[in-house]
Amino acid sequence: MWLETLRRRLAKPKTSVQLCLLGVCAGLIAAFFIILFRLTILFFQGLFLETPDDFTTLPTLERVLMPIGAAFLIALFAALTGFKHYRLGIPFVIHRIKRHYGQMPLYNTVNQFVGGALALISGFSVGREGPSVHMGATGASLLADKLHLPHNAMRTLSGCGVAAGIAASFNTPLAAVIFVMEVVLREYKIHIFVPIMLAAVTGALATQFVFGDVSELALIVVNPLSGWHYPFLIIFGMALGAVAFAFNQNLMMIIRTFKPLSMFPRLLLAGVIAGGIAYMVPQAMGSGMSAITIAIESPDDVQLLTTILIAKLLATLFAIGLGIPGGIIGPVIGLGVLMGTLMAFFAQFISPGADIAGTYSVLGMAGLLAATLHAPLAALTTVMELTSSPEIIVPAMLVISTAYVTALQIFGNRSIFLQQLDFQGLSYHVSPATEALQKVGVMDEMDENFKLLYSADKEQIKTSLDAVSSQTPLIVYDTENGYRLAEYDLSLMSEQNISINYINLQGVSSQSTLADVFDLLKDKRSGAVYIYNLLDNQQIMGIMRWDQIRHILTIRNSLL
């Protein structure tokens, strides 16, 4: 009984204690998967690396063969579980949330865990946030599915899982919330915002408990910049916008070029290329976090930083473009830090003797993130959280704005996630009407005041219609016609002739949202559906007419 009450409460598009507590649970589940994922990577890297993610100490042959072997194992595991379950990462999660309320196939997540772990253990230039987001969304959708929650609540909880995944990956709970709103859900609603915020905090606290409260940018020293730097920061932002456009274009070109290749040769080619880069520039191996350490330790070695930047750029493009499972945010952060450190070399002429390499490295990360992902606010909050430095806010806003506008208006750049979705043919566009209706469960709006008659006999139907008020719907059922709505046809009624009009009813489960009802009725712009209990499809819980949907869209849309 309490579960039924919970489901009815969650069908409402309002903030509730129940939804907040479920958001915390989703955050805990996501954090568990991500902690397990990170511990797996650290354990296996600890077997052959002195420092996690630092592959420079490895013998040359091991360094070269490791990505090739990992690529073979990734392809083999994908083949065993079925290649149809190989759509992974943040773009796939966006598609599932937009079109399927965040329901995540389990086999995809298994592929993501194993493949992502193998890729990161062996030094591919991919980030851990892709698998983290995927696993976070899956954990949340499993919770919602287990409790048979309404799909509008499942959608919110999947967003909670994504936020917990990002927060657990980078220890940035606020940036995780903004990322979900700006990139994944692409909307801001208070009743969604609050549980997602709690899930992000939960994910961050859980991972801090295991790994400590240390971020990869903690060693970067951020010093204030004088106003003389601001014109140069505009040029810097424009350069970052151009690089972001080139990065996205080249990544999509690689994806399109090698699409005709089947999975095995494509992944093996990725391993061979990664092995070749590992042979020449071992510092380019690993997630983007390894590049940050090098930039901090050698900010004045322009030749080394330029070599690593080019090698890491190629390693990232080919790894992700050829299908290695992993995220893009980690490498983009590393590339941005390297670019910023290099730009600081020229900026020293503005402030001779000042230590500004750390400041510029952070600004490079922020600008490249904003322009590549189309997430300016998430990039700004990431910088603020990772540096804990208020001095960075104004210059970061200037660089982010310039980079974003340059990439968008001058080059026509689009979010790399949306470009990947378009190429894969995974839909993510939702009409404003559907998006508004997705937030409300049918249990919140259905008419429960109805009468159900199991008979096709006209006299019985007439008797029942006479017995109920004109406002009470009569649903009749027979094996031949199924469920129908019976009502007097007032246009044909007379004292001698009483005509009954029947409207065929389609059924939707109690988990459905108003968007599902809208999809069934929108073509005719009339009719009704009945709502059945998900756990017992013989139990009719209510009825919804097209008029109710139209009223909600035209009169009450502001409430959604």
pLDDT per position as a tens digit, 474-531: 888 888 888 888 887 766 555 555 678 888 889 999 999 999 999 999 888 888 999 9
| Spatial CB neighbours of 540, under 8 Å, sequence gap ≥ 6 | 450, 452, 475, 483, 530, 531, 532, 533
Domains belonging to the chain, first-starting first, are: 2-429 (1.10.3080.10), 442-559 (3.10.580.10)
User: Is 488 within 8 Å of 469 (Cβ atoms)?
Assistant: no
> Could you give the residue ranges of the DSSP H alpha helices within 374-411?
376-387, 393-405
Angle of the 230-257 helix axis to the 393-405 helix axis, nearest 10: 50
Q: Collect all residues with Cβ–Cβ distance below 8 Å to 516 and sequence separation of at least 6.
A: 151, 442, 508
Query: Average model confidence (pLDDT) for the chain?
Result: 89
- pLDDT reported for residue 498: 67
Residue 295 has pLDDT above 90, yes or no: no
- Return d(Cα 205, Cα 337) in angstroms, integer: 26
The predicted pLDDT at position 169 comes to: 85
Strand, helix or coil for residue 91: helix
Residue 484: phi, psi to the nearest 5?
Answer: -140, 150
> Nearest Cα to 19, choosing from 188, 154, 112?
154
* pLDDT at 70 (0 to 100): 95
Buried b (16+ CB within 10 A) or exposed e, 282-305: bbbbbbbbbbbbbbbebbeeeeeb
Q: What percent of the chain is predicted at pLDDT more than 70?
A: 96
Task: Check if the beta carbon of residue 330 is closer than 8 Å to that of residue 172.
Answer: no
Higher pLDDT, 489 or 543: 543
Looking at residue 503, its pLDDT comes to: 85
What pLDDT was estimated at residue 527?
A: 87
Q: Which of 373-377, 469-473, 494-498, 541-545 has the least mean pLDDT?
A: 494-498
Which residue intervals of 148-229 are DSSP H helices? 151-170, 173-179, 190-211
97 in Cβ contact with 158 (< 8 Å): yes
pLDDT for 389-425, tens place per residue? 888 899 999 999 999 999 999 999 999 999 999 998 8
pLDDT band, very low/low/confident/very high, at 328 (cuts 50, 70, 90): very high
**Exposed / middle / buried, residue 534 (Cβ in 10 Å: 0-12, 13-18, 19+):** middle
Look at residue 492 in the predicted model and tell me its pLDDT. 56
Please give the Cα distance from 386 to 390 (Å, whole number): 11
CA 218, 353, 225: angle at the middle one, nearest 5?
Answer: 55
- CB 542 within 8 Å of CB 11: no
Q: Which residue has the tokens 């149809």?
A: 84
Band of the pLDDT at 194, cuts 50, 70, 90? Answer: very high
Tokens of 238: 């424009």
Above 90 in pLDDT, residue 297? Answer: no
Q: Residue 106: is its pLDDT beyond 60?
A: yes
pLDDT of 225 above 60: yes
pLDDT band at residue 83 under the 50/70/90 scheme: low
Answer whether residue 118 shows pLDDT above 60.
yes
pLDDT over threshold 70, residue 84: no
Whether 27 and 158 have beta carbons less than 8 Å apart is answered as no
Q: How far apart are CA 311 and CA 280, in angstroms?
A: 9
- CA proximity to 100, closest of 49, 165, 61, 154: 154
Residue 143 has pLDDT above 90, yes or no: yes
**pLDDT of 38 strictly over 60:** yes
DSSP state of 468: S
> What span, in angstroms and rounded, lies between the C-alpha atoms of 179 and 199?
13
Greater confidence (288 vs 225) lies with: 225
DSSP for residue 15: -
pLDDT band at 125, cuts 50/70/90?
Answer: very high
pLDDT at 357 over 90: no
Whole-angstrom CA distances from 351 to 195, 225, 302, 336 are 45, 9, 18, 22
Distance CA 302, CA 205 (A): 38
pLDDT of 349 > 70? The answer is yes
**Interatomic CA distance for residues 142 and 160, integer angstroms:** 13
Q: Render the burial of 388-398: b for 16+ CB within 10 Å, e for the rest.
A: ebeebeebbeb
Burial 423-434 (b: 16+ CB within 10 A, else e): eeebebebeebb
pLDDT tens-digit readout, 394-403 = 999 999 999 9
Q: Tell whether the model's pLDDT for residue 460 goes beyond 60.
A: yes
Averaged over 96-109, what is the pLDDT?
88
CA gap 309, 448 in Å, rounded: 63
Percent of the chain scoring above 90 in pLDDT: 53
* Predicted pLDDT at 537: 74
3-state class (DSSP) for residue 487? strand
pLDDT confidence of residue 517: 93
What is the pLDDT averaged over residues 529-550? 88
